[in-house]
Amino acid sequence: MMRLPTFRYTAPKTAAEVAEILAGEGPQASIVAGGTDLYPNMKRRHQTPKTLVSLRHVEELRGVQLNGAVSIGSNETLSDLEDNAALKAKLPALWTAVQSISTPQLRNMGTIGGNVCLDTRCNYYNQTWEWRRAIDFCMKCDGETCWVAPSSDICWAVNSSDTVPVMIALGATFTLISTRGERTIPALEMFGEDGIDYLTKQPDEVLTRIDIPDQGSAKSVYRKVRRRGSFDFPVAAVAARVEMDGDEVKAASIILNAVGPKPVVCETAVDAILGKKLTDEVIEEAAKLAGKGAKPLDNTDHISMWRKKVVVVETKRALEALAQ
Amino acid sequence: MSDSSPTSENGKDLTPEQQGLRDQLAEGYNLIGKSPLKVDGMAKAMGQTQFADDLSMPRMLHCKLLRSHVAYAKILSIDTSKAEALPGVVKVITGECMPIPFGILPVSQDEHSLCFDKVRFVGDPVAAVAAIDEATAYEAMQLIDVEYEKLDPVFDPTKALQNREEPLHDYGDDGNVHKRVSMEFGDVEQGLAEADLVLEDTMFFEGNTHLPMEQHASLAFREADGRLTIMSSTQTPHYLHKAMSKVLEMPPSRVRVIATPNGGGFGGKSDPFNHEMCVAKLALLTGRPVKVALTREEVFYCHRGRHPTLMNIKTGFKKDGAMTGMHFQSLLDGGGYGSYGVASTYYTGALQTVTYKIPKYRFDGVRCFTNKPPCGPKRGHGTPQPRFALEVQLDKAAVALGIDPADIRKNHLHPAGGITANWLKVGSMGLGACIDAVVEASGWKDKWGKLPPGKGVGLACSSYISGAGLPIYWNAMPHSGVTVQLDRGGGVAVFCGETEIGQGSDTVLAMCVAEVLGVGLTDIRLTVADTHTTPVDLGSYSSRVTMMMGNAAFQGAERAREIVAKAVSKKLEIPSVRLRFADNKIFDVQDPENWIPFAKGVQIAEAKFGTIAVAGSYTPPVTPGKYRGAGVGPSPAYSYSAAVIQVDVDQETGDVDVEKIWVAHDIGQSINEILVIGQVEGGVYMGLGEAIMEEMTYRPNRFGVHKIPSMLEYKSPTTHEMPPIDTFIIRDPDPNGPFGAKEVGQGPLLPIMPGVANAVFDAVGVRVDEIPVTPDKVLKAMNSKTKRYGPTKYPDLKITDTVRIKTLEEGGDGTAPRPAKKQKEVTS
Amino acid sequence: MSHATEGAPALSKVHRVLSVNGENHEVAFDPRKTLLEVLREDMLLTGTKHGCELGECGACTVLIDGEPKLSCLVLGLESDGVDIRTIEGLAQPDVPHALQTAYGELGASQCGYCSPGFLMNASALLARDTNPSREAIVEELGGNICRCTGYLKILEAVELAAQRLRDGTAANGGSDV
Ligand SMILES: Cc1cc2nc3c(=O)[nH]c(=O)nc-3n(C[C@H](O)[C@H](O)[C@H](O)COP(=O)(O)OP(=O)(O)OC[C@H]3O[C@@H](n4cnc5c(N)ncnc54)[C@H](O)[C@@H]3O)c2cc1C
Ligand code: SF4
Ligand code: FES
Ligand code: FES
């Protein structure tokens, strides 16, 4: 039986109290929401926080507000979002992403905030302590070398969140609080360049809210590549959003995920469709350009060369869906 | 059973009681072939079944094993002092305390309870801790210091063939070659020369593992009189009993092995394991019960799964598709220990011949040791790899010769009752009916070659043994024994060493006895898988249980019935031959109103003859092959399967979606029909996983670690991947089977892998000569000039002495000519 | 309860009252333990199984306030004040749940090791919807791995149980869940 290391457990009732405890305990403390990412990591000894600060009693972090814009409390469970018919109608791409996460049981437990803050993944890292000892550990945890790219000085562990690329594509913002105050940042700014410091969120900050602006007439889709119809994290994913002006693209966003430590913003691909009709040729060209931004390495399921190829196919399919 | 009632069987005259039973069965079965509730079904649905890790005892200690973190090294020293000093730790042991090696096969006694000279793979155990709880044991395990001197590991069998420095073991054929076999039946060169078409293919089958949902666990304790008892998730309590008695240096009578119901086995719990030895030793040393429950990662290290196998298959065909000869070669990647490997090696060459007529046949097989967890028997043991190669090559031949793949198979079936080139005796043979069933149901004739691009169908067939004809260690005793004890209340206590691993053996046992005695399943109480109370059954492997235990149960029940019938016949003055046992009654077939309750019959018999407890047993028939190596392949009966698989291939990504599977299985006779269907569906599921996603892979350039030892990354299909299956049960009772039954536990897995590869060809016109058929391979094949993905080179196996055996057609007698002189040294 | 639930450092046990299968139990357990460990080791409710302890197999599924969750990823410390249901509580004292009967009849348990997890998951589905489509069952049970059955008998058993619950021919629909 895999078991947890020792920790102290607290379950405050307000976000402010959470922030206070975090400020007092320093980086040795960790927030736990659904625990579906953190507890497996603790069992494998990736993280051994001294104090767990549970959000389980923090009611203010729950709930979804749907006006024109959508505001989602960070502690909302994935299955509550999945069951939210209004959300599904309004943000189908986000709903698709949520619904594709892991399994029904895990979605009953996992939260959207946890999904945003999900630890980066690598199959040299998501292993037990005993396994990692055999490779003398790696840079991300307890070791020196990156076994995926030994000459690299950054970690290539993969951002594997399903909802993050959609949130970036939709122009979401994240609101963080700490004893130092509150700040709201564009979703993209949350993510760092390297798999170790994958979040710009400070250890004492609590993610409280995710806000998604009114999408107007814009349409978006999410496409996820994985081996099986459940359980599996994405090995490549595309979120795309287009806003049309007549039959020409007025604004667009194409975001890849699960192909590197940070979600990839496909600027050249977007440039290739802006102001154009979404014809087969335009889509094909944009998909190729998007594929150039993906640099998958051999640290997830599936062959990395294949993942690079399917990024192009999936981007194409995403744009085709939006062209209809 | 046939409708005509024999008056003699195997040349022996039947007693009136036996004749009465034959007549009773000929009039129709009460239970056999129907689907009564599985005897353990409700307990399982209620969560009441006690698996090994569900057991606990007062004062119980928990054990953790420290496993090697290096792939290949000499152990210089082990310092356990820090671990021993940790509060809560009761005992730490290392290899010296159990110096006697063990292994499942007598020829491969190469495992130690804990390594003390060398470690041979990442995960090889070196020390064991017993502590008051598992968390403490885990912490202590991390405090043990082992000093290693690293050796140069070898991960690739083609390299292992060459590598002769520091071989993993100091036994075997040479260097890292564990086993090298070469046998030729008839003149294959001549056969190939007579062919109109000769195909030669090199193919690869990646390793994969059983992944039983239950992680192995064992609980051992010392009884007050010093005996040792272990309750363990093992498929082979008898073999564990033998190994344990040897390792612990205790007489077998002082060691008791109880196999708990296995939470899935599939062959993965068929070896005696290190952790079993360790808890036993720790229980003896501490005088307290000790339990070990492996983590999922450790289960991957126990492995014993499918051997990664590189194959070369060269076959000659006539224009009509008849085979003229076959030369089959296999190179097995054995991993760090012997396990069943010698048998696995032979199995890669054994069963090619029992499906279609192959008049001349040669087999060369080599198994190498590599620094990875040991391979062994997984569902289909050694035969899925060659079956894949054979069935894919047949598909290629059909295309080349312009014959429908269904016809090329059906037109050249091995005759029922015949003897194959390699001296296997085929009994009943329902493969033709299997092919007809799936061809018809799937609409094959309208689909093959005719579906739109991207969609395709593939067909493949297979066969499997219904129990190995020979035991694992040479002996002349029965392979299965069943004791039947009747009680005055009408209950029947049945004792048998068989092990329930989910395949339904408990139900088969109860049904065989209940059918003969005419009682209900709920009147039967089973005591199974306990070396101190039950007669030996060799274990749940080689699809042997229904065949062998079923026959033993039949005999035991028949003997019990005979005693009762004799007594009742006298008392009621009805001739024995007219007595029928049904519905818990004994009645006169000529006057059904004249009956007594079964319980009353037992009382009459007990008054007359004393306590009624009788045994039945089963020993398989003698096999025609007498040459060395003839022990692997013979079976009392062979099952047959055929499958048609329909796929939809994404032409841009190479992704293979298996849409539907039609499968037919020649069972001989179902004992419990719904369990048979369950085994077919389960086998198909496991085959599907092997076909499209499961693989057991390592990182040779990263210290030889297992790439993905977790439930998440070892891809087992979910409900989403499971296509609908139409199952057809072909009934063609086999004279050797109990009630005519043959196996179903393993056979239906076999056609799935080649069936998928053949369907992919039909869909997108490319050959993936490698399992699993993953999207990247399909895509690579589609983008290649050869329209093929697969290995291209086959190494020289360095065969120097091929044993030549005459086939029956050539006038052989099943023996091999004596070798002129033993040539052990291999020249390279 | 004060605003923060304090877990003691290792080895000294904590006491909690857990509501399991409708009964309150005072349990003392190592605060590091997950609900899975507390159920199996401290309450001897070994019907709940485990195959990975990392959320990757579904064998440990229990119902928490009616929702299927993985007991291997819930702390014992997080399990007070909620309604916990395990396989031991699925049947009424006198009759099995419709799912259990259907399971038995169709041989949906082979080794049976995955069964408790599947059954708890399926019971929540049927409590919500007694007429689920095949797709809905596939989706809902997609979080459980079975290595024996190939799932088909399990899916059929859920459908059979659903049918009986709709027809009113099931003895126990687990209505108190
Ligand atoms: C088998 C398995 C399969 C999975 N498959 C997928 C998948 O397909 N796609 C996918 O995206 N994910 C997947 N996951 C990961 C995970 O379940 C989800 O990402 C889930 O949403 C995480 O949420 P949580 O509440 O459980 O996070 P937790 O484990 O509670 O937290 C995760 C991290 O976020 C931090 N955190 C949580 N909430 C906050 C907050 N409000 N403020 C600041 N920090 C916070 C925690 O400190 C922790 O570091 C899978 C997990 C498992 C075990
Ligand atoms: S990418 Fe490199 S450093 Fe990062 S987790 Fe993987 S092996 Fe470690
Ligand atoms: S044991 Fe909880 S999901 Fe596997
Ligand atoms: S019945 Fe064995 S794992 Fe499902």
Residue B421 has pLDDT above 90, yes or no: yes
The number of distinct structural domains making up chain C is 2
**C129-141 pLDDT, tens digit each:** 999 999 999 999 9
Lowest mean pLDDT among A207-211, B178-182, B798-802: B798-802
- The answer for residues whose C-beta is within 8 angstroms of residue B805's C-beta and 6 or more apart is B183, B184, B185, B422, B423, B627, B812, B814, B815, B816
Structurally, chain A folds into a number of domains equal to 1
In a domain, C106, yes or no: yes
Burial class of residue B171 (count of CB atoms within 10 Å of its CB; 0-12, 13-18, 19+): exposed
Q: Is residue C102 part of a domain?
A: yes
Closest in B653, B705, B779 to A134, CB measured: B705
3-class DSSP assignment, residue B98: coil
pLDDT tens digits for range B199-216: 999 999 999 999 999 999
What is the rounded end-to-end Cα distance, in angstroms, of chain C? 26
Q: Phi and psi (nearest 5°) for B133?
A: -145, 170
CA distance A6 to chain C (A): 6
What mean pLDDT do residues B479-503 have? 97
C168: Cβ contacts below 8 Å, ≥ 6 apart? none
Proximal ligand: closest to the CA of A232 = 1
Domain limits, CATH 3.30.365.10, in chain B: 8-30+477-618, 179-209+304-470+626-789
C152 lines ligand 4 (CB under 6 A): no
- Predicted local confidence at residue B820, as pLDDT: 56
Per-residue pLDDT of A19-51, as tens digits, reads 999 999 999 999 999 999 999 999 999 999 999
Mean of per-residue pLDDT scores for chain B: 96
The Cα–Cα gap between B240 and B531 comes to: 10
- Residues B61-85 have pLDDT tens digits of 999 999 999 999 999 999 999 999 9
Q: Tens of pLDDT along B288-334?
A: 999 999 999 999 999 999 999 999 999 999 999 999 999 999 999 99
Which SS3 state, helix, strand or coil, does residue B387 take? helix
Encode pLDDT of B337-373 as tens digits: 999 999 999 999 999 999 999 999 999 999 999 999 9
Distance between CA atoms of residues B381 and C143, nearest Å: 30
Fill in the DSSP letter of residue A233: P
Provide the token pair at B397: 């031949």
The SS3 of residue A203 is coil
Decide if A40 and C73 are in contact by the 8 Å CB cutoff: yes
- pLDDT reported for residue A316: 98
Ligand 3: centre distance to CA B640 (Å) = 37
C-alpha to C-alpha distance for B607 and B488, rounded to whole angstroms:
10
CA distance C80 to chain B (A): 23
Chains that touch B (3 or more CB pairs under 8 A): A, C
Over residues B505-552, the pLDDT tens digits come to 999 999 999 999 999 999 999 999 999 999 999 999 999 999 999 999
**Rounded-to-integer distance, Cα A138 and Cα B827, Å:** 45
Angle at B367 between CA B365 and CA B373, to 5 degrees: 150
Pairing of strands B656-666, B725-730: parallel
Is residue A109 domain-resident?
Answer: no
- DSSP labels, B164-231: -SS-S-S-SSBTTEEEEEEEEES-HHHHHHT-SEEEEEEEEE-------SSPPEEEEEE-TTS-EEEE
Assign C4 a pLDDT band (cuts: 50, 70, 90): very low
pLDDT of residue C11: 63
Cβ–Cβ under 8 Å, residues A288 and A208: no
CATH topology (fold) of B8-30+477-618: Aldehyde Oxidoreductase; domain 4 (3.30.365)
**Rounded Cα distance, B305 and B385, in Å:** 12
Task: Look up the domain containing C78 and give its range.
Answer: 9-88
Q: Is residue A235 part of a domain?
A: yes
Cα dist from B232 to A1, B245, B302, B680, whole Å: 16, 15, 14, 27
User: Within a 10 A sphere around the Cβ of B289, how many other Cβ atoms?
Assistant: 23
For residue B822, pLDDT over 90 is answered with no
Evaluate whether residue A10 is within a structural domain: no
Reported as a pLDDT band with limits 50, 70 and 90, residue C9 is very low
Give the neighbor-by-neighbor strand order of the sheet with A8-10. Answer: A8-10, A51-54, A29-32
- Residue A217, class by beta-carbon neighbours within 10 Å (0-12 exposed, 13-18 middle, 19+ buried)? exposed
Q: Are residues C83 and C110 in the same domain?
A: no
Of B715, B678, B753, B657, nearest in space to C152 by CA: B678
| C135 found inside a domain | yes
Query: Nearest-CA neighbor of B83 among B146, B148, B147, B141?
Result: B141
pLDDT of residue B826: 41
ipTM comes to 0.97
For residue B324, the model assigns a pLDDT of 98
- Structural domain includes residue C131: yes
What b/e string do you get for C126-136 counting C-beta neighbours within 10 Å, with b at 16 or more? beeebebeeee
Q: Which two tokens stand for residue C110?
A: 């082979």
Q: Is C58 close to ligand 3, i.e. is its CB under 6 Å away?
A: yes
The predicted-structure confidence for B153-172, as pLDDT tens digits, reads as follows 999 999 999 877 899 999 99
Residue B260 has pLDDT above 50, yes or no: yes
Distance from CA of C145 to the nearest CA of A (A): 10
Q: C18 with C79, same domain?
A: yes
Q: Cα separations (Å) of B348 from A16, B264, B312, B364, B656?
A: 67, 24, 12, 9, 27
Fold held by B52-151+210-302? Aldehyde Oxidoreductase; domain 3 (3.90.1170)
| pLDDT given for residue B2 in this prediction | 40
| Nearest by Cα to A195 from A254, A136, A258 | A258
Of the pLDDT bands very low, low, confident and very high (cuts 50, 70, 90), residue B4 is very low
C143 contacts on A by Cβ (under 8 Å): 102-106, 230-231
Q: Among B281, B631, B333, which Cα is nearest to B474's?
A: B631
CATH of the domain spanning B179-209+304-470+626-789: 3.30.365.10
- Model pLDDT for residues B663-718, shown as the tens digit of each residue: 999 999 999 999 999 999 999 999 999 999 999 999 999 999 999 999 999 999 99
Q: Is the dihedral of CA B106, B108, B111, B116 positive or negative?
A: positive
Asked if C83 and C17 sit in the same domain, the reply is yes
- The answer to whether position A74 is within a domain reads no
Distance from C-alpha of B537 to C-alpha of B547, rounded to nearest angstrom: 12
User: How high is the pLDDT of residue C174?
Assistant: 47
The whole domain housing A243 covers: 219-323
Using a pLDDT cut of 90, give the percent of chain C over it.
Answer: 86
Atom 27, ligand 1: residue with shortest CA distance: A114
For residues C121 and C73, state if they share a domain.
Answer: no
Q: What is the DSSP letter of A144?
A: S
Task: Examine the domain organization and report whether C53 and C117 are in the same domain.
Answer: no
Separation of CA C154 and ligand 4 centre (Å): 10
What does the pLDDT average to over A107-129? 98
**Residue that terminates a domain, selected from C54, C88, C122:** C88
Please say if the pLDDT value at position B824 is more than 70: no
CA pair distance B100, B57, nearest whole angstrom: 29
Q: Mean pLDDT across the stretch B244-257?
A: 98
pLDDT for residue B11 = 73
Sheet containing strand A219-225, strands side by side: A219-225, A236-245, A248-257, A264-265
- What percent of chain A has pLDDT above 90? 100
pLDDT value at residue B821: 54
Average pLDDT for B465-486: 96
pLDDT for residue C3 = 35
Q: pLDDT tens digit string along A181-203?
A: 999 999 999 999 999 999 999 99
Q: Give me the pLDDT at residue B800, please.
A: 86
**Are B213 and C57 in contact, with CB atoms under 8 Å apart?**
yes
The predicted pLDDT at position B9 comes to 76
CB atoms within 10 A of CB B781: 24
Query: Could you tell me if residue A253 is inside a domain?
Result: yes
Which residues between 192 and 231 in chain A have a beta carbon less than 8 angstroms from any beta carbon of chain C?
Answer: 229-231
Confidence of residue C8 (pLDDT cuts 50, 70, 90): very low
CATH number of the CATH domain containing A276: 3.30.390.50
Q: Which helix (H) or strand (E) holds A207?
A: strand A206-212
pTM here? 0.97
Ligand 2 site residues (CB inside 6 A) read A 122, 124-125, 138-140, 146-148, 155-157, 195, 299
Pocket test for ligand 1, best of A55, A102, A224 (most atoms within 8 A of CB): A102
- Secondary structure (H, E, C), B689-727: HHHHCCCCCEECCCCCEECCCCCCCCCCCCHHHCCCEEE
- How is residue C59 annotated by DSSP? T
Chain-centroid distance of CA B432 in Å reads: 24
In chain B, ranges of CATH 3.90.1170.50 domains: 52-151+210-302
pLDDT exceeds 50 at position C5: no
Q: Is residue A55 part of a domain?
A: no
In the numeric block, the tokens 């008392």 are attached to: B571
- Last residue within a domain, chosen from C88, C109, C134: C88
Average pLDDT over residues B86-107: 97
pLDDT digits (tens, 9 = 90+) for C55-85: 999 999 999 999 999 999 999 999 999 999 9
Residue C123: give its domain's CATH number: 1.10.150.120
At residue B741's C-alpha, the angle toward residues B737 and B745, to 5°, is 115
